[in-house]
Amino acid sequence: MPLHDRIVPYLERAGLYHLARLNARWFWLDEPLLRLSVDGLPVSRCFTDFEKFIVEGKPAWEWFQELFGELPPQNKVKHYTVHFTWFHERFRVLPDDATEETVRIYARAYIMMLLSTQLFGDKSENRVHIWWLPFVARLDDMGSYSWGSTALA
């Protein structure tokens, strides 16, 4: 999934742009994580029991649809994760005439992939966790979180 120029400002505000530049294709490299902020707000609630997780009074999947404009097909969903191929196929090419809201949707998708596959990868190796929804919903606030200390924890 290419790093589109129009989503770079969102990555910069989130404090994650330098991490996204490690690999121009899609985070296959196993490179060191440098310059992640260790100051700022703690990242919390992301490892909660998602079965009971409701955000702002909405079930998580309803919120997912609101943030991304659609739901992935059922064969791409497992519990509260989405297979990364859906993100890769759906958000690979940002239309040239994309509105700013569409750019924000693509930025959210890119950040969800970045967090789930590069910064906080786990044994699933190919799934994007939707527990990041509270963070990508507030793109402009993402830079206030201490992603570095969270990754080290």
Distances (CA, A) of 51 to 61, 70, 131, 138, 147: 11, 20, 11, 22, 24
pLDDT tens profile 96-143? 999 999 999 999 999 998 888 777 776 667 888 888 888 888 888 888
The structural domains of the chain, with segments of one domain joined by +, span: 5-25+41-47+71-152
Residue 45: is its pLDDT beyond 70?
A: no
Burial of 79 (0-12, 13-18, 19+ CB in 10 A): exposed
- Angle value at C-alpha 124, between 41 and 90, nearest 5 degrees: 80
At 104, list the tokens. 């924000």
What pLDDT shows up at residue 29? 42
